[in-house]
Structure formats: structure tokens, C-alpha cells
Amino acid sequence: MTRDRLVTPVPFSLGTTAPRTALPAAACDCHVHVYDQRFPVAPGARLLPPDASASDYRALQQRLGTERTVLVTPSTYGSDNRCMLQGLAALGTQARGVAVIDGSESDAQLQALHDGGVRGVRLNLSLGVTGSVDSILPLAQRIAPWGWHLQLLMASDVLATLGDVLRSVSVPLVFDHLGRIAPEQAGKHPAHALLLQLMGEGRAWVKLSGGYIVSATHAVDDPALDALAVSYLRAAPERVLWGSDWPHATASAGLHPVPDDALQIDTLARWCDQAGADALRRVLVTNPAALYGFPPVSTSSSPTPV
């Protein structure tokens, strides 16, 4: 498949301003993608953003104050993880990866992913071109020997039907983009209730990422997101993560404006202020270290200058 498009993609942005929030040392952005046109696009892929490299992301890190990164293989490449692995190699020991697999990989192939920094696999049932609901249990069984987690993204109506299946999964579950729950569904939709239950049972984590995707206004700081985000922070503060979703492929596709990543951090800080004094450090440092296997950081570490 070529990268020809009907419309010219919107370039990614590194922004120009820093967040007002001073981040703690070893703060982690848990949802980042990299793109490189040298790698083929998967058949059926719908998001085809311009190139965005690990080097580009390092420039953004310097402005935001993050130090650790989790790269996620995007739907653009299907189950081809080479672009993500290239990014991991460039970022070094301060990065981890979430791969996409189809389940047919050999033990040697999975071990190679682990050695490269992979600590989980993603099943994207929203825009992905690999896997289905029926893949959940087989994928979980396949990755269990490596101690990985299974990251899921799906429509709320689908999620609401899968309680029994998800409680049968033998590995940790991670739901990105606020569980794909719309703000107006908070406290009302059974999928939101299910996520809160899974978190409380110690089965699931939620990424406070992609708020601008689920927001009706596509605004990073949409006040309607507050109740949804804070519900996760209060349900299980030790199981909440944050991710920028840089370089924002849905924005590149023209689905909404390019988000301001500094404002994303300041919005996260606002949410965390409603959940306890140490909530921001948990979300950005302690929780990512626990899930992705980063070295622990002393609580006496000073904030990263901005």
C-alpha cells in the first residue's frame, strides 16, 4: 500500500510553550507513536501521518519535562513492529515498548521483542487492522510467559459486553484513551462501571490519554473530561497512567485540531489536584515504573526544571 492520500496530512507539532506544571524526575509519557515512511503501511490502515521520529520526540521531551517514554506500535503498521523497535533503540534504557502481534509469533520472536524493551501488546479494536474480540484470550495466554500486559482499545458498547472475558484474562489489562468512554457516559454507561470495577479488583490500568479524542469539542482541557478522569484516579490511584498520544495521528488526518501537549500536562495536573497530593507523581513516575519495569526513583528526587 502506498502512502498516497486524498488530503494532505497536517504536520505534527512540537509546540513552543512549556507547561506551567513542574514535573517530577523520571516522569513518563506512556503513549507515544513514531512513524517512518521507510516502513510499509498495513493494508486497510486509515491513519497515515507524516514521519515523526524518536529524535523529534526528544525535542518535545525537553520542552515538556518528561524523561521516560513508552512507544506503542500504531495501527498504521499492523503487526510490523520494526518502526517502534527502531525508536526504542534510539531512546535507550529510558524507553519501553508496546507491540502489536497476531499470535503466530515464535518464542524466539517474542523474546527478541522483550529484549528490545517490549513489555506489552496492544489490541486496537477501534482503528486497528489486526485481531478481533476473539483474540483477547489467545493473546493473553501467548504473552503471559513474558510477564507482559494486554492493552485494549474498543468502543464502549463492545467493552460493556466483555466483563466475563476480561475477568478471565491472566495478564494485566491496560485501557488507553480514558477507556474510549465519552465524557457524557461517565457514571452512566456500563462500560465505565466495568472499568472502575476492573481497576478496583486489581485487574486493569487506565491511561489518561486521548482526552481530546473522546471529548465532543476535541479540546485538551474540556471541563467535561474532569469527572471521567478523576473517577479513575479515585477508583485506583495506583493504576492510572498518562500519555500524550504524540504525534496525534488523528489530528494529522484532519479529524480535529492538533492538541497542545503542554496544556495536556497542565490539565492532567488539574485532575490530579482533585485526587490527592501525591497523585501526579504516582501517575507519571511510580505507576509507570511498576507496569513497565523502569527502575524506581527516590521520593526525594527534585522536579524536572521546565
Measured CA distances, 67 to 57, 170, 212, 214, 253 (Å): 11, 31, 23, 27, 28
Q: Which of 245, 260, 261, 266 is catalytic?
A: 245
Nearest to 289 by CA among 28, 7, 4: 28
Q: How far apart are CA 158 and CA 128, in angstroms?
A: 15
Q: How far apart are CA 154 and CA 68, in angstroms?
A: 26
Q: How far apart are CA 172 and CA 148, in angstroms?
A: 8
Q: Is 245 a catalytic residue?
A: yes
Task: Establish whether the linkage from the previous residue to 247 is cis, with ω within 30° of 0.
Answer: yes
Checking DSSP bridges between strand 204-208 and strand 240-242, what pairing results, if any?
Answer: parallel
Q: How far apart are CA 211 and CA 178, in angstroms?
A: 7
Catalytic residues: 245
